Amino acid sequence: MNIFLDKYGTDTTTNFHLMRWANELNISPFYYCMRDEINDLKYKKEDKIAKQKLDIQQLIGNIPDDNEDTFQQELNALETKLNSELQKELRNIKQEIQSIDDSEIKTYIQQQIQNIDDREIKTYIQQQIQNIDDSVIQQQITTINNLVLKQDKNIVALGKKYLKKESYYFNLPFGNLSSVHASITDNIDGSKDYEYKKY
């Protein structure tokens, strides 16, 4: 108990409570002393490790620049090696792609086509046919028929107009040129004799 009091002193309320708690639980105050000693050793060890880390970092910082060049060269060499390996892999992949046999692919596709069940296709087509609305088709057929009939009527009307039977003939001038008395100046005022006539 005296060691405990020497270690922690007698003037604090915390120490008093610790002592009272130790007495109530029948725990020796030396336990607390040992615990504190262990913690002190632990903190001292942690401080020592932190100091050693700091020393190592300082040593690393004091390494001459020549080593940095060596590290950079090694890094460049590794990067070059990695790039060459990557290019090699890419070349291998391209060769693999180029070596693929088209006939194998065609054979596979043909097999897949042969595996298709015709019944499924026929069933699908029949379903599509059944889904067709007959009334819409009938309306379209009626519309087309009406247009055809209208065009037929127009064609018949045009045919009647152009096939009307009328005779046309012309009185040709100079009909009497074989005559001895004919001359160019003959019948100047008789131009009405050579009009177009409709009979």
Asked if residue 2 has pLDDT above 70, the reply is no
73 or 197: which carries more pLDDT confidence?
73
Mean pLDDT of the chain: 70
Whole-number Å distance between alpha carbons of 100 and 93: 11
In this prediction, residue 167 carries a pLDDT of: 47
In this prediction, residue 13 carries a pLDDT of: 60
Is the pTM value of this prediction over 0.85?
A: no
Asked if residue 11 has pLDDT above 80, the reply is no
In this prediction, residue 150 carries a pLDDT of: 87
Query: 117-164: per-residue pLDDT in tens?
Result: 777 777 887 888 777 777 877 888 888 888 888 888 888 877 777 666
Asked if residue 197 has pLDDT above 60, the reply is no
* Residue ranges per structural domain of the chain: 1-62, 68-100
Asked if residue 40 has pLDDT above 70, the reply is yes
Query: 52-83: per-residue pLDDT in tens?
Result: 888 887 777 776 666 667 777 888 888 888 88
Q: What is the mean pLDDT of residues 158-179?
A: 58
